[in-house]
Amino acid sequence: MSTAVSTASPSTGSAKSTSGPRRRRLGSTGIVYLALVGILVISAGLVAAQGGNFFSQGNLFYLLSQTSLLGFVAIGQTFVILCKSLDLSVGYVVAWSSLVAATTMAGDPSRIWLGVVAALAVAAGVGLVNGLVISKLRVNSFIATLGVGLIIKGYLDTQYKGPSGEIPKAFQGFGYTRIGPVPISVIVLAVVMVLGVVLLNRTRSGYHMFAVGGNIDVARLSGIRTDRSIILAHVLCSLCAGVAGLLIAARFGTGNALVYTYGYDLNSIAAVVLGGTLLMGGRGSIMGTIAGVLILASLDTVFNVLDVSPFFKDVLRGAIIIAAVAMYARRQIDPASSRARFRALAQSVRPGGARDGQAPPGSSSASAPSTSSGKEATR
Amino acid sequence: MTASTAAGGASTTGAPILQLRGIGKVFFGNSVLRGIDLDVRPGEVHALVGENGAGKSTLMKIIAGVHKPDSGTMELDGKPVAFASPLAAQAAGVSTVFQEFNLLPERTVAENVYLGREPRRFGIVDAGRMARDTDALLADLGLHGLASWMRVGSLSVAEQQIVEIVKAVSYDARIISMDEPTAALADQEVELLYALVAQLRARGVAILYVSHRLKEIFDLCDTITVLKDGDFVLTTATADITPDRLVRTMVGREFAGYYPDKDPGTVPGAVKLALEGAGNTQVDGIDLEVRAGEIVALAGLQGSGRTEIAHGVFGVAPFTRGTILLDGKPVTVSSAREAVRLGLALVTEDRKAEGLALEQSISANARLVLDSVTPGSSDRRARAIPGILSSLDLVSRSKDAEVQYLSGGNQQKVVLAKWLVTDPSVIVLDEPTRGIDVGAKRAVYDLMRTLTARGVAILLISSELPEVVAMADRILVMRDGRLAGELPAGSDEETIMAMATGAGDTSEHVEVDLSALDVPVGDAARAPQSVLPGGEPASPRHAQRDTTQEDQ
C-alpha cells in the first residue's frame, strides 16, 4: 500500500493515536447488505418459530415479485436523488404507462412491441418535462414533480374510469413466468441494475451526476453541463417507472389508473435512502438501493407470513427507515474534514517531554491525555 | 533542502508570463481597484500583500476570470486576454486555488482531479488510466502520502488544498494563484504546502501567493507586490525589503478623524468577563479580561481565531478547556440561549446570515432575542425598542419594513437594537462596522461610548486598525489561534500589524524537510518523528485509512 506519511499532519493524526488505531470504516452499501442479512436471519427465525419456512418457494417468489416492482422505480429514483433532485411523479408515470401499454396492445400479440415503445416513450416524455422544468425554469424538484404528477393524475382520472385495455397473453408472461423461483421480471430488473451501475460508475454521464449532486457550482466550474445531467437523470427515472408500469400491466392483464395509489413515489424514496444514498445528493449507489428494496420487500414478506396487522407493519417500516437514516447521519460527520487547529494540543501543553521530539510517555496508549482534549479525540 | 534556501535561488528574470496594466474595478459605484500593474514571471513566487480590504481578493478574482476588470489590460504571453469564466482562465493555463475549495468531498482524488474531462475508452470512463495518471502526477510532485483512490472528504484541509493544486497542475497551469493558502492550516501542514510550492517553482510555474503572514512571504516569495486601499503601492524583490518596511508600506494612512473621544468620566470598573486558559479546536490558551466600562479590542488577521473566541464566549462553539468568569464567578456557556440569559450579547460578523431574519420586519427582528429567551416579559421589554431605534438614528419609513430592503448601516442598527433591548452587561461586537457607511459607523462608535459610560463591557473584534486604535482601551492581538500579545490604547497600526503577522519573529524559520516527503514505503512508522517541531510523532494514519472504496 503506497500510503507513506509525507502528509504527516499530526494535528489530526495524533488525536487518533491517542484513541487507538482507527477502525476501518465499512462502506454504506456494506452496512445495508449487513442489515439485509440481519433482517433475513431474524425473519427466518421468527417464521421458523411459528413452524414455517421463510425461504419456501412461495415466500421467495412473493419477496422477489415485490422487489422487482419497487426495484425498477427505486433504481430510477436513485439517479434523480444522486443529482440532489427528487421525483414525486413516478407513481403516476407507472399508472400512465400501464394504461398506454394495455390500450396500445389491446390484446393483439403483434402490437406488443408497439405498446412497449409507446409506454416507454410516454414515460420518457414525462421525465423530459420534469427535467426541463427543474433545470431550465429552476423550479424546486419537489414542487415541479408534484405538479407534473398532479397533472397526470387529473388526466388519468378524467380519461380512464377503471381498468382499460388488454395485455396479450404472450406479454403477461413478463409478469408471471419464472425460472425456478426467479421471476422473469427479476432477471429484467437485474439487467436494468447492471446497466444503471455501468452508467453511474463507468460513464461520464454518471460521473457528472455525482458531481452535480455533490456541488452544482463545482460541477459547473469544471465545465459540466449540469442541466443535461439533471434532465438525463429525470428521463432515466421516468423510463424506469415506465418499465414498472409495463410489469404491473403484465401482471394485471390490463392497465389501471389506480396504480398510483400504491405509494411508489414515497416507497421508492425510502428504498433509496435506506440504501445509503444521500438525500442531499452526491453519494449513493444502485446496489445500495437494491438492498433497500430487498429490505422493504423482506419486511413485507415476513409481515405477510406472520399475518401482522397492517398498522404495525407501517409503524415498523417507518421506524426502520428513520433508524437507518439517523445512523447514516452520524457517520456523515467526518472528524478528519473539520478544520481543527488545536486538536493535537494536549501534547504540547503538557509539561515536559513534548519539546524534544520524543513521544510523550503514554501517548500511544489508549488512555486519553490528562487534559480535557480527550473529549475532542473521541468526539 | 529547505524551502528557505530556495527563495534566493530561483531565477526570476525573463519575460513576464502574465502582465496586468492599469487594472481597475468598480463595484456598485465603489472603486475597489485602481490602476493595478502586475508582472508575473515563470518560476517566480509572487506575493500579493495588503491589509484586509486592500483589494487582493478582487485582483485575484479578475485574474481567475471570476470578475471582469472595468479598466486596464491583461496580457498572457504578450497577447491580450479577457477570460469569460474561470473555466476559460483554466484552459489558458491560469488556475486559482480559492479558500473555499472546488472539490467534491464524496469523490476520490482522481475523480476530482479529472472532473469534467474524464478520460474515456470506447465511451466508457477509463478509470484505470485516470488513477494511473493521477498517481503519476502525485508521485511527480513528491506527494507520496496521497493516492488517487482516497476520498477527498477524508483528507485534511492541507491535503485537500494540495488536491486543488494538483488539479491545477493537471490542467498544465502555468500560473497558479493561491488565496491565503495557509489560513486554515496547522503549522505542520504548512510545511507540506511550502514543499509543493518549491516543486512547482522548480518546474517553471508562476505562483501568485496572497497571504498576510510575513514569515511565509519572506520564506517563500521572490517578489512582493503591495496593494493599499485598492491602489498599487510597489513591487519589489523580497531581498530588497525588510519585514518592518513592508508592514509600514501596507498600513499607514491618514487618520480618518471621526472617532468620538472617550468621556473622561468613563473609568474601567470591576472585571465583567474573564477567560482563563480558554481553548477549543480553533483557539488555545486564551486569557483575557474585560472590565465594566472598558472597550477591549481583539485585533488580528482574518482566521486568526478572533471570531472563534466570540463564539466560545457565546456558546456557539463552546470552549472545551479553561474557564469563563462572569463577574468573577465561573459559568458554563454551552449554548447561545444560556449566554443571553447570563447577560451576554453577540453582534455577529455576518449580519445577513447570522444577525437578521431578512424577510421579517424591523420590529420583528428587534424582538427576536426577547421573544425567544424571555417570552413571558417580552411585550413589556419590547416597549423599549422604539426608543432604542430612534436613539440609533435608524432611518426607515416604517417599523414594518422588511430588513432586507434596508441599507447595511440600518440593518446593523436593527441588530444592535435587538441586543440592546436585552440589557446586556457584556457585548461582543464582531466587525460591527463592516460594510456600513460612514454615518452609521459614527453611530456605532457613539453607541459604544454611551454603553461603556453606562458600565457595559465591550469586546470589539475588528479588522479595521484605525478603529481599533481609536476606540479601544486595550488591544489584544491574536495570531494563529493564540494571543500574541497585548498593546495599550493608542498603539500604532504598524505595531499591531507586526504583532498580528509575526513580523517580529522572522528568526523562527520554518524548515521544510523534503526528505520527509520522500519517505519510502514501509518506513512510515519510523521516519517522520524527526520532522515535526511540535514533538508529537506523526501517526501513520494513512496506513489505517479506509481502503474500502465506496462500492456501487
pLDDT tens-digit map of B460-469 = 998 888 888 8
Classify B271-501 by CATH class: alpha beta
Residue B260 φ then ψ, to 5°: -70, 145
Tell me the three cell numbers of residue B506: 522572522
pLDDT band at A341 (very low <50, low <70, confident <90, very high): low
pLDDT greater than 70 at residue B375: yes
CATH level 3 topology of B3-250+509-532: Rossmann fold (3.40.50)
Two domains, one topology: B3-250+509-532 and B271-501:
yes
Does A7 or B470 have the greater pLDDT score?
B470
Q: In whole angstroms, give the CA distance from residue A278 to residue A210.
A: 11
Interface test with B, best of A209, A286, A342 (most B CBs within 10 A): A342
Q: Is B535 on the interface with A (CB under 8 A)?
A: yes
Q: In whole angstroms, give the CA distance from residue A131 to residue B486.
A: 59
| Beta strands B329-331 and B321-326, pairing class | antiparallel
* Spatial CB neighbours of A373, under 8 Å, sequence gap ≥ 6: A15, A343, A345, A346, B320, B321
Q: How many helices (H) and strands (E) does chain B have?
A: 18, 22
Please state, for a pLDDT cut of 70, what percent of chain A lies above it: 80
Q: Is A21 on the interface with B (CB under 8 A)?
A: yes
- The mean per-residue pLDDT over the stretch B385-401 comes to 82
pLDDT of residue A332: 58
pLDDT greater than 50 at residue B545: no
DSSP A193-246: HHHHHHHHHHSHHHHHHHHHHH-HHHHHHTT--HHHHHHHHHHHHHHHHHHHHH
pLDDT band at A117 (very low <50, low <70, confident <90, very high): very high
Looking up cell 509543493, which residue turns up? Answer: B196
* Segment among A35-44, A62-71, A316-325, A361-370 with least mean pLDDT: A361-370
pLDDT greater than 70 at residue A259: yes
pLDDT of residue A74: 97
Name the residue among B186, B56, B466, B479 with its Cα closest to residue B308.
B479
On chain A, the residues whose CB falls within 8 A of the CB of B86 are 221
Please state, for a pLDDT cut of 90, what percent of chain B lies above it: 36
pLDDT per residue as tens digits for the range B178-224: 988 876 676 667 788 888 899 899 999 999 998 877 778 888 899 99
pLDDT greater than 90 at residue B58: no
Q: Is A19 on the interface with B (CB under 8 A)?
A: no
DSSP 8-state symbol, B430:
E
- Residue B13: other Cβ atoms inside 10 A: 8
Q: Is B162 on the interface with A (CB under 8 A)?
A: yes
B61 and B129 Cβ atoms separated by less than 8 Å:
no
pLDDT greater than 80 at residue A372: no
Residue B375 φ then ψ, to 5°: -55, -35
Most confident of A5-14, A238-247, B350-359: A238-247
On chain B, the residues whose CB falls within 8 A of the CB of A5 are 145, 516, 519, 524, 527-528, 538, 540, 542
Q: Is B86 on the interface with A (CB under 8 A)?
A: yes
DSSP 8-state symbol, A23:
P
* Chain B: closest CA distance from residue A143 (Å): 22
- The mean per-residue pLDDT over the stretch B523-539 comes to 38
Does B402 or B511 have the greater pLDDT score?
B402
**A354 with B125: Cβ contact below 8 A:** no
State which H helix or E strand residue B178 sits in.
strand B175-179
DSSP A82-149: HTT---S-HHHHHHHHHHHHHHHHTT-GGGHHHHHHHHHHHHHHHHHHHHHHHHTS---HHHHHHHHH
**B552 with A197: Cβ contact below 8 A:** yes
**B188 with A337: Cβ contact below 8 A:** no
Nearest CA in chain B to A226: B116
**B551 with A29: Cβ contact below 8 A:** yes
Tell me the three cell numbers of residue B420: 440592546
Residue B206 φ then ψ, to 5°: -90, 135
* Chain B: closest CA distance from residue A203 (Å): 5
Looking up cell 407507472, which residue turns up? Answer: A94
Q: How far is CA A316 from CA A165, A300, B96, in A?
A: 37, 10, 51
Measured over the CA atoms of residue B11, residue B17, residue B22 and residue B26, the dihedral's sign is negative
Q: In whole angstroms, give the CA distance from residue A76 to residue A293.
A: 12
Q: In whole angstroms, give the CA distance from residue A47 to residue A11.
A: 52
pLDDT of residue B262: 82
* Spatial CB neighbours of B141, under 8 Å, sequence gap ≥ 6: B166, B169, B196, B199, B200
On chain B, the residues whose CB falls within 8 A of the CB of A359 are 529, 536-537
Q: In whole angstroms, give the CA distance from residue A290 to residue A74.
A: 8
Nearest CB partner across the interface for A345, out of B111, B118, B279? B279
pLDDT band at A59 (very low <50, low <70, confident <90, very high): confident
Judged on CB neighbours under 10 Å (0-12, 13-18, 19+), A256 is buried
pLDDT greater than 60 at residue A356: no
Burial A111-124 (b: 16+ CB within 10 A, else e): bbeebbebbbebbb
State which H helix or E strand residue B466 sits in.
helix B465-471
Tell me the three cell numbers of residue A125: 416524455
Nearest CB partner across the interface for A8, out of B106, B282, B528? B528
pLDDT greater than 60 at residue A8: no
pLDDT of residue B1: 37
Q: Could you tell me the residue ranges of all domains in chain B?
A: 3-250+509-532, 271-501
Q: In whole angstroms, give the CA distance from residue A39 to residue A36.
A: 5
Q: In whole angstroms, give the CA distance from residue B303 to residue B288.
A: 19
What is the value of ipTM here, to two decimals?
0.77
Nearest CA in chain A to B537: A359
Nearest CB partner across the interface for A22, out of B104, B188, B541? B541
pLDDT of residue A106: 92
Amino acid code (one letter) for B9: G
pLDDT per residue as tens digits for the range B16-37: 899 999 999 887 767 788 899 9
Q: Is B278 on the interface with A (CB under 8 A)?
A: no
pLDDT of residue B324: 94
pLDDT band at A206 (very low <50, low <70, confident <90, very high): very high
Q: In whole angstroms, give the CA distance from residue B469 to residue B490.
A: 5
Rg (CA), chain B: 25
CB pairs under 8 A between A and B: 258
**A8 with B188: Cβ contact below 8 A:** yes
- The mean per-residue pLDDT over the stretch A17-32 comes to 54
Nearest CA in chain B to A22: B544
Measured over the CA atoms of residue B208, residue B214, residue B220 and residue B225, the dihedral's sign is positive
**A339 with B124: Cβ contact below 8 A:** no
Q: In whole angstroms, give the CA distance from residue B11 to residue B97.
A: 24
Looking up cell 519510502, which residue turns up? Answer: B520
On chain A, the residues whose CB falls within 8 A of the CB of B143 are 6-7
B160 and A12 Cβ atoms separated by less than 8 Å:
no
Rg (CA), chain A: 25
pLDDT of residue A324: 81
**A8 with B127: Cβ contact below 8 A:** no
A201 and A141 Cβ atoms separated by less than 8 Å:
no
On chain A, the residues whose CB falls within 8 A of the CB of B144 are 2, 4, 6
pLDDT per residue as tens digits for the range B164-187: 889 988 988 999 999 888 766 766
* Segment among A59-63, A199-203, B362-366, B547-551 with least mean pLDDT: B547-551
CATH level 3 topology of A56-326: ABC transporter involved in vitamin B12 uptake, BtuC (1.10.3470)
**A3 with B530: Cβ contact below 8 A:** no
Tell me the three cell numbers of residue B513: 524537510
Tell me the three cell numbers of residue A48: 421458523
- The mean per-residue pLDDT over the stretch B29-48 comes to 88
Tell me the three cell numbers of residue B146: 496521497
Angle formed at CA A64 by CA A61 and CA A69, multiple of 5 degrees:
125
Nearest CB partner across the interface for A9, out of B102, B188, B522? B188
HEC string of A232-300 equals HHHHHHHHHHHHHHHHHHHHHCCECHHHHHHCHHHHHHHHHHHCCCCCCCCCCCHHHHHHHHHHHHHHH
Residue B122: strand, helix, or coil: coil
Output the average pLDDT for chain B. Answer: 82
**A207 with B104: Cβ contact below 8 A:** no
**pTM: predicted TM-score of the whole model, two decimal places:** 0.72
* Chain B: closest CA distance from residue A15 (Å): 9
Nearest CB partner across the interface for A24, out of B530, B542, B546? B546
Q: Is A29 on the interface with B (CB under 8 A)?
A: yes
Q: In whole angstroms, give the CA distance from residue A126 to residue A122.
A: 6
